[in-house]
Every structure is written in C-alpha cells, then in structure tokens.
Amino acid sequence: MKHNLILLLLFGLYACSQSDLSMQLQKASWIDLSHEYDSNTVYWPTNVKFRHDTVFCGINSQNYFYASFKYSAEEHGGTHFDAPLHFHQGGESIEKIGMERLHGPAVVVDVTEHASQSRDYLVGKTDLENWEKIHGRIPDGAVILLRTGWGKFYHDHLKYTGTLKTGVDGVRELHFPGLDPQAAKWIAENRKVVAIGIDTPSIDNGQSTEFLTHRILCASGITAYENIARLDEVPEKGAYIVAFPMKIKGGSGAPLRIAAILP
C-alpha cells in the first residue's frame, strides 16, 4: 500500500483506482539507466573482469533449440549497487535492504560544466544547495543522482577511468569526478535520502585513497549506485527511480538494473 501511495503522489493521481495507476504506469516513459554486462564492462583495476561462457547453445540431441550460459563477476563493476556492508563493519548486506529503500523521487544534481574543467571534480555542498535554491528542499526518501557527464565516456575506458593499466599501477592513475566527503556528511546529517548515484566508476573520486565518502554513506545506511548510464536523459526534478540489485545473500554489492520513470 505504501508503494502504491508513493506512485499515486508521483503522478498526481490522488483519487484514482489501482487500475488507473496501472494504466498510468504503462503510459509512462521508462529510461534504463544500466549499462550492459560484457567483456568491456568497467571494473576497478584490481578486480576480476566479467565473464560470460557458453554451457550450450544450439540444436540439442532432441532436435530443439536450447541455450544456457554461465557468468562470473565481482560484485563491484559495471552499473552496480553498494550496500552499507561495503565500507562499514556490521553494515547491512544486500538481502537485508528493504524494498522501501530501493526507490524514490529523483534529485539530479548537474555538475557537468564543473566536471568538464576538472577530471577530479568533487561535487560539493554548494552544488546541492544550488539545486535546492531552484527546486526546493531535497525530499525525504529521495535518490540523489550526480550527473557529471562522465557517462558519455563509458565505452572509452581511458577517458572514463583515466587509465588502461590494471592492478595497483592502474589504481594510481584513476581520474574521474566524485562526491566530496564533506558533502556526503552534510547529506547524511541533514537530509533523509535512501541512495546516492553517480555516472562515474565510484562515488569517491578517482584519486581518493581513503574512500571517506563511501565510509560516511555506508555508516549512515545510505546505499550508492555507480556507473549509471543515460543520466543526461533524466530531468533535474520530476522523475522517479527504481533500483533493483541482484539479491546476493551476504553481498557487499551487486549488479544493478536501475530505471527512471517519467510521467
């Protein structure tokens, strides 16, 4: 019932029936904000790449077509979800996060101009306050999405991450925007959001060595989405986000299918 009420409010259908709600959702525009998983999926330089291997694909001995594949991957790569356990001892793992924390009104903070001038740009408290000056206070239960413009480079690994190297050498050369730890602290202490996402490989910027933003968010129970696609198609206000990670028991993260709903 709670989820229905949220969607009713989203589309302004204060007195409509469930059938009306169903029709409105069918008419709504859905934007897939997830990158595909394949051999080119972006992973941290020290992580194992995604693999997708064939078990069987073709006409079997009973003369009908059958296909089955197997895959292997680390939790944190491609468009994925960070659970509090990722950087907080005793934090919740993926399967413990309630459904009510997997959706919310979108707050898109656009810092593309700043990020275009600095690969290491940190989204700050001022950027968040500027959003509020235009659109009003960040609503409770919101999903903050940081649009740096970096998503357009996703298929160019060098531009997107700053390096083609792997291992420790690759980590040293990472350069991409992220969220300033002080801004993360301000959000955690002053706003009631369920998640923060970004169109870069990490919510901490590439040159971070202490991952303070991760640590602050995870300790506060705020989940994170990384490597988000198509954020340029989502308005700064008015969309609604649904984000469903693979339900890995004990997982610190998981592949994520995330979508924006536009009425």
Q: For residue 251, tell me if it sits in a domain.
A: yes
Q: What is the dihedral of CA 117, 123, 127, 129, to 10 degrees?
A: -170
Q: For residue 82, tell me if it sits in a domain.
A: yes
**pLDDT (average), residues 33-61:** 97
Q: For residue 63, tell me if it sits in a domain.
A: no
Q: For residue 18, tell me if it sits in a domain.
A: yes
Q: What is the CATH number of the domain that holds 96?
A: 3.50.30.50
Q: Which tens digit of pLDDT belongs to each residue from 17-42? A: 667 878 888 889 999 999 999 999 99
Band of residue 11 on the pLDDT scale cut at 50, 70, 90? low
Number of domains in the chain: 1
- State the Cα–Cα distance between residues 164 and 116, nearest whole angstrom: 20
Structure tokens at 7: 């969607």
- State the Cα–Cα distance between residues 87 and 223, nearest whole angstrom: 11
Q: What backbone torsions phi and psi does residue 52 show, to the nearest 5 degrees?
A: -135, 110
SS percent in the chain: helix, strand, coil, step 5: 30, 30, 40
Q: Which tens digit of pLDDT belongs to each residue from 185-198? A: 999 999 999 999 99
Q: For residue 126, tell me if it sits in a domain.
A: yes
- Tell me which residue range forms the domain holding 21: 2-49+75-262
Q: Which tens digit of pLDDT belongs to each residue from 132-144? A: 999 999 999 999 9
